[in-house]
Amino acid sequence: MNSVLSNKKAICIFVIPTLALFFIIVFVPIVVSSYYSLLDWNGVGRGAFIGLKNYVEMFTSTRALNAMKNSLLFAGASIFIQLPISLLLALILASGVKGEGFYRTVYFIPVLISTVVIAQLWSKIYNADYGLLNTLLKSVGLGYLAQDWLGQTSTALAASFVPTLWQYVGYHMLLMYAGAKSISKDIYEAARIDGASSARIAFSVTIPLMKPILKVCLVFSMIGALKVFDLVYVLTNGGPFFTTEVPSTLMYTTIFDTYRYGYGSAFSVFIIVECLAFTLLINKFFKTE
């Protein structure tokens, strides 16, 4: 095994196919989209080169800026609501509660369900006429709060946050749970001998030692929120009045409804650069000596 790892030719033979596949599937589409973003092109025939005009329009369009703001709000909800809940559940389960395996499985079930199915499920829950949420509010005497959750500009965006937060809490919980379980029990024993309480152990021992897995969860959560598409598209299709629109849904609408492939490609490049920039920032924030 060591001889294979020290053989540079063998390493190249195994690595080159993967690099070639990555180049074809990831790098080439990014380069092509970047080129298209510099064109005024309807998807047929030759496009006219217009330089950075698509990007100028994107950053001066009220609709586009609103979509960018919504994606950042999705990211904020994921980071400041979803991840703390996942961390709390992970710490509770890792402490060895009764039924640990059962709860771990139950929390992870939503992750296995298609996002489109999740969106359809929550659209029924939010339905103004027969939705579970309004029915529940009426049954407990809070009928005055019942409303069309996805049909009003004041509630549509917040209502769109809930399904994606609910779906991926179990995903991040499982990653954090694995990280907590990998910590040596000797460290916990030493902390208890020193008189540390459970809360003190969690904040001074468990969470600091989980820093690498927390960084992974933060990156996954951020990227997933910035490129969210299917859930918003099925729930609201960006409505009402573009209230829930995000860059990915606007990109789809721009390309397939108005046939502005160049302008739509500019959104795709923006999403890629945005995800890369936030990933680098998170890595720098978590960087240690």
Q: What pLDDT is stored for residue 193 in this prediction?
A: 86
Per-residue pLDDT reduced to its tens digit, 138-161: 999 888 999 999 999 999 999 999
Long-range contacts, stretch 211-215, CB < 8 angstroms, 24+ apart: 211/286, 211/288, 212/179, 212/286, 213/175, 213/176, 213/178, 213/179, 214/83, 214/87, 214/176, 214/179, 214/286, 215/282, 215/283, 215/286
pLDDT above 90: residue 49: yes
Q: What pLDDT is stored for residue 63 in this prediction?
A: 94
Q: H or E segment at 49?
A: strand 48-49
Q: What pLDDT is stored for residue 74 in this prediction?
A: 95
Per-residue pLDDT reduced to its tens digit, 74-99: 999 999 999 999 999 999 998 888 88
Q: What pLDDT is stored for residue 253 in this prediction?
A: 93
**Domains of the chain (ranges plus CATH)?**
62-285 (1.10.3720.10)
Residue type, 234: V
Q: If you average pLDDT over residues 176-180, what whole number do you get? A: 93
Q: What pLDDT is stored for residue 12 in this prediction?
A: 82
- As a whole-number percent, the residues of the chain with pLDDT over 90 amount to 69
pLDDT above 80: residue 6: no
Mean predicted lDDT score pLDDT of the chain: 91
pTM for the whole thing? Answer: 0.90
Q: Are 146 and 152 in contact (CB under 8 A)?
A: no
Helices in 97-244 by DSSP H: which ranges? 100-112, 115-125, 132-139, 156-181, 185-193, 198-201, 207-209, 211-226, 230-235
| Integer Cα distance of 189 and 249 in angstroms | 51
Asked if the bond preceding 240 is cis, omega within 30° of 0, the reply is yes
pLDDT confidence bin for 3, thresholds 50/70/90: low
Q: In Å, how far are 71, 83, 142 from 166, measured between CA atoms?
A: 17, 11, 23
pLDDT above 90: residue 271: yes
pLDDT confidence bin for 289, thresholds 50/70/90: very low
- For residue 87, what are its two tokens? 């961390």
Residue 258, SS3 per DSSP: coil
- For residue 73, what are its two tokens? 């709000």
Q: If you average pLDDT over residues 205-233, what whole number do you get? A: 93
Residue type, 145: L
